[in-house]
């Protein structure tokens, strides 16, 4: 049965066998791993994962593809969840969960934020994403790609960009290249922001006005004297502060 990619779901199906093998090698699945695949699509990655794990969960928003996957595999080994991953409760799945996926570009950033509250229950995450998104995820302070996404994810995860993938590895090919990234949740003892909501508020407020100086970008959140007391120059811009600086600001307020 032919499936025509649907633009509303951002479907670009991975077909390059060499890339698929490289992904599976990077994930290194073991038989008893608790694992969920996001956006399995035509199952290019699903089948090799099922060759290595006893049971695999899969979340697919396209009902036609979900039905096709369910019909093609043993239902005791592949558990297909039909629906939008942005509304999926990952707490329903086992602890020490391994999350993998070739993520649609149109939901990648919202999905990453959706996963942050579940980080403590996850073992690792491996994603294929738009290369520019991965560059933002792993960016260091005072570089062009550094921003809210960098800081919010780096507070919860250690991340490594593993390799890049050309557009031709997908059908239809997207207009941009992709990259494969590994995310390892940090232990709770390493999370330094005492109030997650305050930390998120500080970072979001700062980068809403990222071209302004901190004294202006964080006006109403923390005053100039308090920034100086933390050893932070109020004339800097939001992209100049390291993760630890944002944690210090959030902790000082809370």
Rounded to the nearest angstrom, the gap between the alpha carbon of residue 4 and the centroid of all alpha carbons in its chain is 27
Closest CA to 144 of 216, 212, 240, 235: 240
| Strands, sheet with 56-60, edge to edge from the N-terminal-most edge strand | 78-82, 56-60, 35-38, 97-102, 122-130, 178-185, 157-165
What is the structure's pLDDT at 190? 75
Q: Give the Cα separation of 214 and 33 in Å (integer).
A: 45
What is the structure's pLDDT at 155? 96
Domains and CATH numbers, the chain: 7-190 (3.40.50.150), 196-253 (1.10.8.100)
What is the structure's pLDDT at 3? 52
Where the chain has pLDDT below 50, the residues are 1, 5-6, 8-9
Residues 6+ apart with CB under 8 A from 215: 224, 227, 234, 235
Query: Is 231 exposed, middle or buried, given 0-12, 13-18 or 19+ CB atoms closer than 10 A?
Result: exposed
Write the DSSP string, 34-66.
-EEEE--TT-TTHHHHHTT-S-EEEEES-HHHH
3-state secondary structure of 236: coil
DSSP 141: T
Rounded to the nearest angstrom, the gap between the alpha carbon of residue 61 and the centroid of all alpha carbons in its chain is 18
- Count of C-beta atoms within a 10 Å radius of residue 49: 22
3-state secondary structure of 208: helix
> What is the reported pTM?
0.92
CA atoms within 13 A on the CB side of 81: 18
CA atoms within 13 A on the CB side of 120: 6
What is the structure's pLDDT at 9? 44
Q: Give the Cα separation of 75 and 92 in Å (integer).
A: 18
Per residue in 27-65, pLDDT (tens digit) is 999 999 999 999 998 889 999 999 999 999 999 998 988
């Amino acid at each position: 049965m032919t499936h025509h990619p649907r633009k509303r779901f951002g479907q670009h199906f991975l077909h390059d066998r060499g890339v698929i093998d490289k992904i599976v090698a990077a994930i290194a699945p073991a038989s008893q791993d608790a694992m969920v695949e996001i956006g399995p699509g035509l199952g290019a990655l699903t089948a090799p994962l099922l060759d290595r794990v006893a049971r695999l969960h899969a979340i697919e928003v396209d009902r036609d593809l979900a039905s096709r996957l369910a019909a093609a595999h043993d239902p005791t080994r592949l558990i297909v969840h039909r629906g939008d991953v942005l509304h999926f409760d990952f707490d329903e799945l086992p602890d020490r969960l391994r999350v993998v996926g070739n993520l649609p570009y149109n939901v990648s950033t919202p999905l990453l934020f959706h996963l942050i509250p579940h980080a403590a229950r996850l073992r690792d995450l491996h994603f294929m994403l738009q290369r520019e998104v991965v560059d933002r995820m792993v960016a260091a302070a005072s570089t062009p790609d550094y921003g809210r996404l960098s800081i919010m994810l780096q507070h919860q995860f250690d991340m490594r960009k593993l390799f890049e993938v050309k557009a031709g590895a997908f059908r239809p090919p997207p207009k941009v290249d992709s990259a494969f990234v590994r995310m390892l949740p940090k232990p709770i003892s390493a999370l330094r922001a005492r109030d997650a909501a305050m930390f998120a508020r500080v970072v979001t407020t700062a980068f809403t006005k990222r071209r302004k100086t901190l004294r202006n970008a964080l006006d109403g959140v923390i005053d100039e004297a308090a920034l100086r007391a933390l050893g932070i120059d109020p004339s800097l811009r939001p992209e100049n502060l390291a993760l630890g600086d944002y944690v210090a600001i959030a902790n000082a307020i809370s």
